Amino acid sequence: MTTTPDRAPLIEALEVCDLATILPALAAATGDLSLLDPTLRPSDAMFAETEAGLSLDQAQQVRALAKRGLNQLLDHGPIGDLSREDLATIMCWLLPDRGVVEQYFDLFVHELGLADLRTPTWSVPAVAPGRTLSAIVIGAGMSGIVTAHRLLQAGLTVTVIEKDAEIGGTWFENTYPGCRVDVANHLYSYSFGTRENWTSYHSPQRDLLAYFRRVADECGVRPHVRLATTVTGCTWDETTAQWQVGLEGDRGHEVAVADVVVSCVGQLNHPRIPDLPGIDTFGGPQFHTARWNHEVDLSGARVGIVGTGSSALQVIPELAGTVAHLTVFERSPSWLAPALTYRQSVPEGLRLLFDTIPNAMGWLRLWLVWKNCEGLLALARVDDTFDGGGRSVSLMNEGFREILTAVLEAYLPGRPDLLRAMTPDYPPLARRIVPDDGSIPAALLRDDVALIHHGVTAVTPSGVVTDDGTHHDLDVIIWATGFHAQDFLLPMPVVGRGGLTLDAAWNGEPAAHLGICVPGFPNLFFTYGPNTNIVINGSIIYFTELEVDWITKALHHLVATNASSLEARPEALERWVEYVDATNAKMAWGASSVMSWYKSASGRVTQNWGESLLAYYDITKTFDPSDYVVTPRKPA
Ligand SMILES: Cc1cc2nc3c(=O)[nH]c(=O)nc-3n(C[C@H](O)[C@H](O)[C@H](O)COP(=O)(O)OP(=O)(O)OC[C@H]3O[C@@H](n4cnc5c(N)ncnc54)[C@H](O)[C@@H]3O)c2cc1C
């Protein structure tokens, strides 16, 4: 027996619908393209003054049309699959022009998640009957989960080794107050599987952890995960053409073997605390944000937080007013961008619509891919003919700077000192922008919060010393000082062909072909590897999904050609490095001299992707054997 949903709450919910995507979602669900009134198209401007850039009157017209579409849907049910032409017509209504839709069509279809198009279409037993292929996946965070899922689908024997007591990676380890995702969650989620009907626009850590645990369970990954076990090193064995993987866990030290190793250790997994003089002499508790000590009672304490990057700026509004005094030590401020929904719950009505209209969340996701990621790239692109004096990289970037500065000014009336301290002297998007709903300036305006615009140079038994020689008395120090992002695979030694170590191969400049493969390291693949991090607010999940898709294609080639191993050719990596260096140099984060965790000690951008999401999609779409040394299997 089917139940008919009660219409009244659904019609009422249209008051809180997403004005940009409700009509495309209903047009796709009903097949009624006449809902797409050309006068009601949303604006993709970053800070449109009204929702989706629509006037109040237009908003009412959208709702009226949506009511018609919703009634059609409830009367007749969803239409089923749409033709390519109809899908493209709907996309064209939502997006700036037909050219964009034609270029992005395949990517958008993936992101819409109409079907799980990345399921491998092959499997080891089907392609090579009698052959087994084993893989060790290091890490059970977001990347490890999807990697294991796809490799299992491709019929590999998979073991995931996770050092923590639970899966979840970033979202298991970071439990500091205020920890949440800074990308809208309808984008920061896998493109496959049951869509989460998020209760927050930017979910807090506990909801993200629950999500990743659910997906791991749904995909059957969990039984393949060994928790509380650390990979201590990997060595390529030339004679067996396998990796020997050292493990340390409750069974003591072991060596496991696998044909393939996939590193899913992330870029932000090893907390970095600066090695300052006197750091061990501090008399009170001190800890890193990623290792929050929940035993320490901060109420009544004079707390110092060192750093003003993403984590610090999430913690500060939570601690302000709950501790006796909060001192924030800032070396270099982050740009803040207005994000009014940042701490808001998704209205119940909207969640109800998401539950009722098939794939309404997919259409919102597609809109976010355009509006919050690809559509923003132009803001970060360097105009060589423009002289921004180091503070901006193009006229658009300068305009963006002016908007962000004006917003900050409005939040800090009569406090030129704070405004000066909180305004970066580098271009917007030279580092990742921190979303803010006004909570950060509000916290810093409090009498019991002080912002010190000086770096910490030493620690004493009773506090810290800043670079102007001032001593600050503290009871607790919180280090919000980031991660050893450059040291992929820290601290384990990885030894490839002929005894070559990854440390020696990289020599402080991590690089991998496509961000995935390193010459001399056969059958070793990276997810979230070098040059696959992003600055414009996209989602790392997008990159990991493409990498894993590519890895399965590479493994298909390995199995189909009866090969034992494949590895990138040095010349392929050289070309790749030239390409990523050239593209990064054209973006605010590469052109600006400001230091960030994206750069190696030499100043080269080792972490970031310098092109569009589409470019990475196109590059990873196929496996090109000519870039790889493929070694045949020895006869049995
Ligand atoms: C506080 C914070 C906020 C973030 N916010 C965003 C955001 O808003 N948007 C976004 O796109 N990204 C964000 N990121 C980046 C985030 O790391 C990625 O989005 C994503 O979680 C990376 O997943 P991962 O599985 O690749 O790595 P991780 O989540 O770091 O997981 C790596 C796993 O590998 C395990 N591991 C490491 N070494 C070993 C070893 N030797 N042996 C066994 N296991 C090992 C770790 O224990 C961990 O579980 C944020 C990161 C942090 C730290």
Under DSSP, is residue 552 helix (H, G, I), strand (E, B) or coil? helix
Q: Whose CA is nearest to atom 23 of ligand 1?
A: 142
Would the CATH topology of 124-270+485-567+609-632 be identical to that of 279-335+391-479? Answer: yes
Q: Give the up-direction half-sphere exposure of residue 458: CA atoms within 13 A in the CB hemisphere.
A: 12
Q: Whose CA is nearest to atom 18 of ligand 1?
A: 540
- Distances in Å between the Cα of 614 and the Cα atoms of 79, 104, 375, 605 are 30, 7, 12, 20
Q: 466 — alpha (psi -120 to 50), left (phi > 0) or beta?
A: beta
Q: How far is the CA of 54 from the centre of ligand 1 (A)?
A: 38
Q: How far is the CA of 233 from the centre of ligand 1 (A)?
A: 19
DSSP assignment of 462-511 = TEEEETTS-EEE-SEEEE---B-TT-TTTT--EE-GGG-BHHHHHTT---
Instruction: Please name which of 64, 76, 80 lies closest in space to residue 4, comparing C-alpha atoms.
Output: 76
Report how many helices (DSSP H) and strands (DSSP E) the chain contains, helices first: 21, 21
Can you tell me the distance from the alpha carbon of 186 to that of 103, in angstroms, rounded to the nearest whole number?
23
Q: How far is the CA of 66 from the centre of ligand 1 (A)?
A: 40
**Index of the ligand 1 atom closest to the CA of residue 202:** 8
Q: Whose CA is nearest to atom 3 of ligand 1?
A: 181
Strand-pair partners of 231? 247
The string of pLDDT tens digits covering residues 5-30 is: 789 999 999 999 999 999 999 999 99
Pocket test for ligand 1, best of 137, 161, 163, 170 (most atoms within 8 A of CB): 170
Amino acid identity, position 365: R
Can you tell me the distance from the alpha carbon of 269 to that of 488, in angstroms, rounded to the nearest whole number?
9
The per-residue pLDDT for 1 is 44
* Phi, psi (rounded to 5 degrees) for 568: -70, 145
**Residue in the structure block whose two tokens are 């493209």:** 88
The string of pLDDT tens digits covering residues 401-449 is: 999 999 999 999 999 999 999 999 999 999 999 999 999 999 999 999 9
Burial of 522 (0-12, 13-18, 19+ CB in 10 A): buried
Is the model more confident about 390 or about 597?
Answer: 390
* Phi, psi (rounded to 5 degrees) for 432: -65, 135
Pairing state of beta strands 524-526 and 336-338?
A: unpaired
**Index of the ligand 1 atom closest to the CA of residue 528:** 26
Q: How far is the CA of 292 from the centre of ligand 1 (A)?
A: 16
Pocket test for ligand 1, best of 265, 292, 481 (most atoms within 8 A of CB): 265
DSSP assignment of 576-602 = HHHHHHHHHHTBHHHHS----TTB-TT
**Residue in the structure block whose two tokens are 């087994």:** 132
Q: Whose CA is nearest to atom 5 of ligand 1?
A: 181
Q: Whose CA is nearest to atom 35 of ligand 1?
A: 139
Interior angle at CA 181, CA 178 and CA 183, nearest 5: 140
Strand-pair partners of 157? 134
Q: How far is the CA of 455 from the centre of ligand 1 (A)?
A: 27
What average pLDDT does the segment 108-119 reach? 90
Q: How far is the CA of 569 from the centre of ligand 1 (A)?
A: 28
Can you tell me the distance from the alpha carbon of 85 to that of 16, in angstroms, rounded to the nearest whole number?
30
For ligand 1, residues with CB inside 6 Å are 138-144, 161-164, 169-170, 174, 179, 181-183, 188, 230-231, 264-266, 268-269, 311, 492, 527-528, 539-540
Pocket test for ligand 1, best of 164, 267, 269 (most atoms within 8 A of CB): 269
Q: Whose CA is nearest to atom 26 of ligand 1?
A: 266
Say which CATH architecture domain 279-335+391-479 belongs to.
3-Layer(bba) Sandwich (3.50)
Domain ranges within the chain, ordered by starting residue? 7-103+347-374, 124-270+485-567+609-632, 279-335+391-479
Which residues lie closer than 8 Å to 521 by C-beta, 6 or more apart? 236, 494, 496, 497, 500, 502, 505, 567
Q: 229-238, 381-390, 529-538 — which is least confidently predicted?
A: 529-538
Under DSSP, is residue 563 helix (H, G, I), strand (E, B) or coil? strand
- The whole-model pTM stands at 0.96
Under DSSP, is residue 452 helix (H, G, I), strand (E, B) or coil? strand
What average pLDDT does the segment 545-553 reach? 98
Give the CATH number of domain 124-270+485-567+609-632; options: 1.10.3720.10, 3.30.300.30, 3.30.1330.40, 3.50.50.60: 3.50.50.60
Pocket test for ligand 1, best of 268, 434, 436, 551 (most atoms within 8 A of CB): 268
The string of pLDDT tens digits covering residues 156-205 is: 999 999 999 999 999 999 999 999 999 999 999 999 999 999 999 999 99
**Index of the ligand 1 atom closest to the CA of residue 141:** 25
**Index of the ligand 1 atom closest to the CA of residue 176:** 1
Q: Are 538 and 550 in contact (CB under 8 A)?
A: no
Can you tell me the distance from the alpha carbon of 540 to that of 44, in angstroms, rounded to the nearest whole number?
22
Under DSSP, is residue 174 helix (H, G, I), strand (E, B) or coil? coil
Can you tell me the distance from the alpha carbon of 349 to that of 83, in angstroms, rounded to the nearest whole number?
30
Q: How far is the CA of 144 from the centre of ligand 1 (A)?
A: 10
Q: Are 524 and 261 in contact (CB under 8 A)?
A: yes
The string of pLDDT tens digits covering residues 452-509 is: 999 999 999 999 999 999 999 999 999 999 999 878 877 789 999 999 999 999 999 9
Pairing state of beta strands 336-338 and 434-436?
A: parallel
Amino acid identity, position 434: V
Q: Are 94 and 24 in contact (CB under 8 A)?
A: yes
Q: Whose CA is nearest to atom 22 of ligand 1?
A: 266
Q: Whose CA is nearest to atom 4 of ligand 1?
A: 181
Q: How far is the CA of 264 from the centre of ligand 1 (A)?
A: 8
Strand-pair partners of 260? 135
The string of pLDDT tens digits covering residues 591-636 is: 877 778 888 888 899 989 999 999 999 999 999 999 999 999 988 7
Q: Whose CA is nearest to atom 27 of ligand 1?
A: 266
Can you tell me the distance from the alpha carbon of 129 to that of 233, in angstroms, rounded to the nearest whole number?
32
Can you tell me the distance from the alpha carbon of 572 to that of 557, in angstroms, rounded to the nearest whole number?
18
